[in-house]
Structure 1
Amino acid sequence: MMLAADQGLADSSNVLVYTAMAVYSLAFLAYVAEWVFGGRSRVARTSASLDAEGGEADAATPAVTVRKNGATSVLERPRVVTRSAGPARPETPDGPGAAGGDERGDTYGRIAVALTTLAFLMHLGGVVTRAIAVERGPWGNMYEFSTAFSMVVTAAFLTLLLLRRNVRWLGLILVGTVLLDLGLATTVLYTETQQLVPALDSIWMWIHVPLAIICGGLLYLGAISSVLFLLKDRHEARLADGATPGRFSSSVLGRLPSSVSLDRFAYRINAAVFPLWTFTIVAGAIWAENAWGRYWDWDPKETWAFITWVAYACYLHARATVGWKGRKAAYLAVIGFICFLINYYGVNIFFDSLHSYGGV
């Protein structure tokens, strides 16, 4: 493989990535401050005050006074229930973020989002500069794929915030995993800038691989939501049974959106990404026929891409036909993303594959 066309630009790309990591670290600390010092959201206050009967009086709803036959009686205010195991599970209102409207916590949250945005711009600059340096798409090896993957994850998060979606609760976990991904990329997976072999010099390089990165980044958001749903659902179940929540459950899980919100968020993402993942596999098969003379050869990368597709197909099919919602569906979604991670890391590191052009 030939070296990069401009090593100076390649070095600049590395500097931008390292700088982005430093700013992401500051953003991570700001998210931690939001969770530690911020007030608790309405969801948290509602959840913490649930009694053994599974509900609480809604302070926003006044009591009703009824006069009948000369006697006066006061009806209790209706109760708000966060537990939603049955078909009548309601959606509890979600706060604007981990702080839930608390002024101090909201300030930390806004600082965290601003730092995340600044880090993303530097991250984007590092990926673009790398592409200019090698004069191709910046996803020719595991290092480049990883940096582009975490960039897409952050872009999706900021886009949802821009659309005024209530997703700031994702910030702490998301920035933490972005830092982990970039840390692995710059240490274990780093590869010098190189040109690709002629077999990969195709228009499909700009279709198949970017789609795989975009799908992976969005599926990751869905996987986070499914994991948090499992934790939140168990937390709500314990509250509904009259159990006293622990300190962690009260301070962390209590400030997440309701389980029904997390379940719906994960489903919408996974359902939207599934057609794109299907097209990604089809595009890869077309590219394989152009490069190697056959559409499918059960290469490890192809096999695990198909297994991932099957896992998410089962997830969507189970929800659509047998009405699986909640824990069973969440387990399927998590399994699907684990399959994606095996395809992402495991195949390149532990298997001999036709896709291993750039090493790790």
Structure 2
Amino acid sequence: MSVNQTLSTYSDMAYATSVVIYIAAMLLYFGEFAYGRAGTVGRRRESVLVNAGRGESTATGVIGHVETPKKRPLAERLGGMAVSMTVLGALVHAASLLLRGVATGRVPWGNMYEFGSAICLAAVIAWLIVLFRQLRTERREATPAQLRGLGGFLMLPVVVLLFLSGTVLYAQAAPLQPALQSYWIVIHVTAAIISSGALLFAGVASVLYLLRSRYENNPLKLTRFGSRLPTSQALDRIAYRATVIIFPVWTFAIVAGAIWAEAAWGRFWGWDPKETCSFIAWVVYAAYLHARATAGWRGIRAAWINIFGLAVMIFNLFFINIVVAGLHSYAGL
């Protein structure tokens, strides 16, 4: 099937545009994180409760008197703009993948450039789901402003991976290689993309958990930075929930890959470098979930295991796909 070069060009333009939008969103997130004050939301909530106990209006703070609502703090405005930019970037990013798929007449993850792009989109969508769900249903340990400020730390690796995918790993739009022309690419690779994106988000949460724990154990260290992060309990909960939800999907991705391998190569498992590294990552994340449920390994030890799992995933994505020769060498480079 011939490639529609016009749509391919539009896809590349949308990809570049999404990167620019993500960079703007990242800077806005970091702006909110820098200008926000730790504990502001908690103090405001406490003030509202006190006023309510006195019989005062929580909207104005004065009985029978209507005041003009105060202008939102700069940090909150920056955070709101950051979320809006993230949603816009995700839409443009999704459009780039859609256009690439239509231009080539196949699923848009047939090489490293497209695969990396899809993983980043999955990570951004996972972040937006967690953010909107948290803002809507949970206000216990992580205040909305604090949680939203984490966006910059997620967008940073996303932007870096998108930059590498669009430069070093870029591949021209082309039909799928014969070995990839199977319906299993939709099943197996889609599960791998969703898993990788969510696990990237979980790994970032675990890194921030370690930083917050260090601040809580020694407030004299990382004072300004650590005080702006959500509590260690909230970060640990976010990392754990993301991992425990996505772990069955990662398990399914490995099983589906084994079934595809049997259909393509006549064996379910051959200890190919890609298969081996994927299995190691599965073992590490299984160990993390077990450690998280074990009293003596909760907290910092479990977080380090989760971070090691992310390192294995990154190693699998770059080193195994690009450097090591194997049956899964479909990087398109």
Task: Name the TM-score class by shorter chain.
Answer: 0.7 to 0.9
Q: Is the 8 A contact 1:20 1:122 kept in 2?
A: yes
Q: Corresponding residue for 2:164?
A: 184
Instruction: Please report how far the alpha carbon of residue 61 of structure 1 lies from its aligned counterpart in structure 2 after TM superposition.
Output: 9.9
Aligned match of 1:95: none
Q: Which stretch shifts more, 276-285 or 265-274?
A: 265-274
- Number of aligned residues: 301
Larger relative contact order (CA 8 Å, sep ≥ 6): 1
Q: If the length of structure 1 is used for normalisation, what is the TM-score?
A: 0.79
Structure 2 residue corresponding to 1:105, chosen from 75, 87, 100: 75
The offset of 1:17, in angstroms, is 0.6
Corresponding position of 1:152: 122
Does 1:342 pair with 2:315? yes
> 2:11 aligns to what?
13
Q: Residue 87 of structure 2 corresponds to which residue in structure 1?
A: 117
Matched to 1:328, the amino acid is R
Determine the C-alpha separation between the residues in 1 that align with 2:132 and 2:231.
22
The answer as to whether partners of 1:10 and 1:193 remain within 8 angstroms in 2 is yes
Q: Distance in 1 between matches of 2:81 and 2:224?
A: 21
Q: CA 1:301–1:44 in 2, change beyond 3 Å: closer, same or farther?
A: farther
Cα 1:335–1:43 shift into 2, 3 Å: farther
Match of 2:279 in 1: 306
Unaligned runs of 5+ in 2: 51-70, 136-143
Contact 1:40 1:102 in 2 (8 A): no
% identity of equivalent residues: 43
Is 2:325 the counterpart of 1:352? yes
CA RMSD of aligned residues (A): 2.2
Separation in structure 1 between the aligned mates of residue 41 and residue 325 of structure 2, nearest angstrom? 49
Task: Tell me how far apart the structure 2 counterparts of residues 42 and 294 of structure 1 sit (CA, whole Å).
Answer: 59
Match of 1:171 among 151, 154, 174: 151
Larger radius of gyration: 1
For 1:32 and 1:8, locate their aligned partners in 2 and report how far apart those are by CA, in whole Å. 36
Larger fraction in helix = 2
Q: What's 1:268 paired with?
A: 241
User: 4+ residue runs of structure 1 moved beyond 4 angstroms?
Assistant: 42-45, 58-62
Is the Cα–Cα contact under 8 Å of residues 29 and 148 in structure 2 kept in the other structure?
A: no
Distance 1:164 1:320, change over 3 A: closer
> 5+ unaligned residues in a row in structure 1: which ranges?
46-57, 63-100
Paired residues for 1:272-283 under 5 Å: 272-283=245-256
Distance 1:290 1:253, change over 3 A: same
3-state SS of paired residue (2:322): helix
TM-score (norm 2): 0.85
The one-letter code matched in structure 1 to 2:254 is I
Question: In the alignment, is residue 215 of structure 1 matched against residue 188 of structure 2?
Answer: no
- Partner residue in 2 for 1:201: 181
- Shift in Å, 1:157: 1.3
Query: Which residue in the other structure is 2:209 paired with?
Result: 229
